[in-house]
Amino acid sequence: MHSAPDAAIPRRVIVTDVVCRDGFQDEKRIIATTEKLALIVRLAEAGVSSIEATSFVHPKVVPQMADADTLLARVPREYGVRYSALLPNLRGAERAVAAGIDEIHLVVSASDSHNQANLNRTTAQSLAQLAEVAAYVRRAAPEVELVGTLATAFGCPFEGDVPLERLCWAIEHFRAMGMTCVVLADTTGMANPLQVGRTLRALRARFPLVEWGLHLHNTRGLGLANAYAGLLEGVARFDASLGGLGGCPFAPGATGNIATEDLVHMLHEMGIATGIDLDALIAAARTLPALVGHPIESAVVRGGKTRDLHPFAGVPLAQSAGC
């Protein structure tokens, strides 16, 4: 493990695994509650302290999340894991609070078109609705943390670039709801590292008291590069999905998240602590192909860790072709 190279880079990072929510929501095979619970146990035993377990949405819209209430009632509590759920409305909040959720992620898209595709309303309409949700949670369960998630923060598959002022406008609404943490989501993997850095610098200057998180997709292979750009700006909270599973049913081309094991491997190689046992995490990821019925996008599962060295038996010079 190397020491962290820059004073601005955090020495410890919280990694929230989202495989049971974002990872499974677009899978063709319905993942059984018992299978989700077994995976959650493996994540918890590996030291993952933050798990986004489900979303409280209508089961007809996202059938994979139909077991949200049952799942939350049965998640293991002995590991000290903080369980979160994503939800879009008051009914979802009522269900989440009743199920004993620790943290609620309120999501809205920065772009109107994606918000309409995802939630069938404009961004302004969703923000007004979420204000009611936030007020309810403050009254009914003040111990539950509210986190604002801003989808399409780095680009919209329908509209293209999203202006910075549009992000600021939405974040001002989140702040008015009392949120101190905002997660910027690259919903379809449109971000690049320079853009991530510039956006975070501008937002940090505008909202100095906000804790920032990143939810990055690896659609075009830039997920870890964008995570590094976030680290350089002091971001210490990242979402990732075991095996790189995930996507958005309402956004064209929204393929998987950055793989949790790939992100943790990079962080550990940089000397950044996560509290996660990487070997146990990789072992959990290797169970996914049998569960979902297709290969996973995981560089570390495919190629091994950097420090997984191999025995060298020697090669006769006549057989050496160089490389």
Give the model's confidence band at 254: pLDDT under 50 very low, under 70 low, under 90 confident, else very high: low
To the nearest whole percent, how much of the chain has pLDDT over 90?
Answer: 84
pLDDT score for 249: 62
- Alpha carbons 213 and 276: distance in angstroms, whole number: 18
Whole-model pTM? 0.93
User: Residue 299: how many CB atoms within 10 A of its CB?
Assistant: 16
pLDDT in tens, 127-136: 999 999 999 9
Told to judge if 248 belongs to the known catalytic residues of this protein, a careful annotator would answer yes
Lowest mean pLDDT among 60-64, 73-77, 207-211, 237-241: 60-64
* pLDDT at 62 > cutoff 80: yes
Considering only residues 117 and 32, tell me which one the structure prediction assigns the higher pLDDT: 32
Is the pLDDT score of 4 beyond 80?
A: no
- Residue type at 304 in one-letter notation: G
Question: In this prediction, what percent of the chain has a pLDDT beyond 70?
Answer: 93
Q: How far apart are the first and last CA of the chain?
A: 27
Token reading at 277:
């046992």
Per-chain mean pLDDT for the chain:
93
How confident is the model over 215-236, as a mean pLDDT? 97
User: What interhelical angle do 123-140 and 90-98 show, nearest 10?
Assistant: 30
For the segment 77-95, the average pLDDT, to the nearest whole number, is 95
Q: Which of 225, 224, 196, 223 is nearest to 212 (CA)?
A: 196
Could you give the domains of the chain? 14-302 (3.20.20.70)
Can you give the pLDDT at residue 88? 86
Q: What is the DSSP string of 91-135?
A: HHHHHHHHTT-SEEEEEEESSHHHHHHHHSS-HHHHHHHHHHHHH
pLDDT of the residue at 250 = 60
Q: Is the pLDDT of residue 3 over 60?
A: no
Burial of 195 (0-12, 13-18, 19+ CB in 10 A): middle
Checking if the pLDDT of 316 tops 80, the result is no
Average pLDDT rounded to a whole number, residues 255-277: 96
At residue 2, does pLDDT exceed 60? Answer: no
Q: How far is it between the farthest Cα atoms of the chain?
A: 77
The catalytically annotated residue of 20, 156, 181, 248 is: 248
Residue type present at position 205: A
Read off the pLDDT of residues 156-209 as tens digits, 9 standing for 90 and up: 999 999 999 999 999 999 999 999 999 999 999 999 999 999 999 999 999 999
Q: How far is the CA of 48 from the CAs of 45, 88, 264, in angstroms?
A: 7, 25, 10
Mean pLDDT of 226-251: 91
Task: Read off the amino acid at residue 53.
Answer: A
Alpha-carbon distance 166 to 315, whole Å? 60
What are 98-119's pLDDT values in tens digits?
Answer: 999 999 999 999 999 999 988 8
Residues in contact with 163: Cβ distance below 8 Å, sequence separation at least 6, in sequence order: none
